Amino acid sequence: MKAERRKGDSYTDRLFHWLQMEEKLPIEYEKTIKPKVYKIRFQNKPFILKGYRRLHVIQQQIEFFQHWNYAYKIAARPFPFENGVYTKSKLGCDWSLFERIEGRHAEFDNHNDRKKAVQILHQFHRTTKGIAVLSIPKDPLYVKWEKRLEHFEETRDIFSDFRKKGMYQELRSCMMDRLEKFSAHPWGEIEEKAWENHEWLHGDVAHHNFIISPDKSIKLIDFDLLHTGPRIYDHIQLAQRFLPYVESQRSTLLKYFPHIKDRDIWWEGVLVPADLLREWLYGYRQSLREESTLIRHMRKLEKSWETRKKFVRYAEHML
């Protein structure tokens, strides 16, 4: 192998030995991105090699991309190892290749990047509608948020320990109130219509899943949470990803999403502070693994919540 691996990474050694020596594939290791995700070269071209514990997740993606005529313009596609074979099984995973898009992650503190992200997501929704591939079921967004609230409530004692019980109660109360209003919409009917129309969601519209190439074009990557459902879910979650950067410019957020039909429902979803709970829980779990200090995450949440309260007060009159 031309590139060096981390010393002592026996799993990676075994994987690439198997691919090269036993499967006889022209694969060269370049870099470990995270466990079971590698930058590689295959047939002297750049790819991502990714391992899946659940075969149906990658099988759905492969079938979906085979029916998506515009994928080459919009996304990093799965790529066969050989003769139409898209997966190889070894070491408890099913391994697949994906096109590697050279470039940088989108930066949501940048106006142009935000604009490009909305545009490519809209193109994804528009060009995938009607693809009749069996979808992996996912919880409706409000159910996902209800579960997140339960996990947040399990950290209540941490707030007491840091004498931040007031902040906890404020945030929990706001979450419950906004979530109750959002979940009151006829989501059963809305979801059923989306399923009938075969509307697809990316499911993970974080900044690192938008890649901007040196020529300023943008593509989507990582379709592991791909599923059918109301497209408004993706738009709500993307708007929440933008929020930390536009809260002080309160009318700006609306301008990024001119094509949304159910504007009131979208706005109510954006105001559910589920994103703050997500970031808090992520930081909390990191601190349990001693990867960071809990007090730093508490301060970060406190700052974010103070800013969000002002935005919510401003936005409520628009509903």
Q: Which domains can be identified in the chain, with CATH numbers?
A: 10-100 (3.30.200.20), 111-316 (3.90.1200.10)
**Residue 306 and residue 43: Cα distance in Å, rounded?**
52
The answer, yes or no, to whether residue 2 has pLDDT greater than 60, is no
162 and 298 Cβ atoms separated by less than 8 Å: yes
Average pLDDT for 188-214: 97
Model confidence at 63, in pLDDT bands (50, 70, 90)? very high
Strands 45-52 and 93-99, how do they pair? antiparallel
If we measure between CA atoms, which residue out of 272, 215, 222 comes closest to residue 58? 222
The answer, yes or no, to whether residue 315 has pLDDT greater than 90, is no
- For the record, the structure tokens of 213 come out as 């190439």
Model confidence at 87, in pLDDT bands (50, 70, 90)? very high
DSSP 82: B
**Residue 60 and residue 272: Cα distance in Å, rounded?**
31
Residue with tokens 């590689």: 40
DSSP character string of 70-81 = THHHHBPPEE-S
Partners of residue 37 on adjacent β-strands: 34, 50
**Residue 303 and residue 234: Cα distance in Å, rounded?**
26
Q: Which residues 6+ apart lie within 8 Å of 86 measured at CB?
A: 58, 62, 78, 79, 80, 96, 97
- Indicate the angle between helix axes 294-316 and 165-183, nearest 10 degrees: 50
pLDDT score recorded for residue 3: 47
Strands 210-212 and 227-228, how do they pair? unpaired
Percent share of the chain, pLDDT over 90: 87
Model confidence at 1, in pLDDT bands (50, 70, 90)? very low
- pLDDT tens for residues 269-292? 999 999 999 999 999 998 888 767
Q: Is this prediction's pTM over 0.75?
A: yes
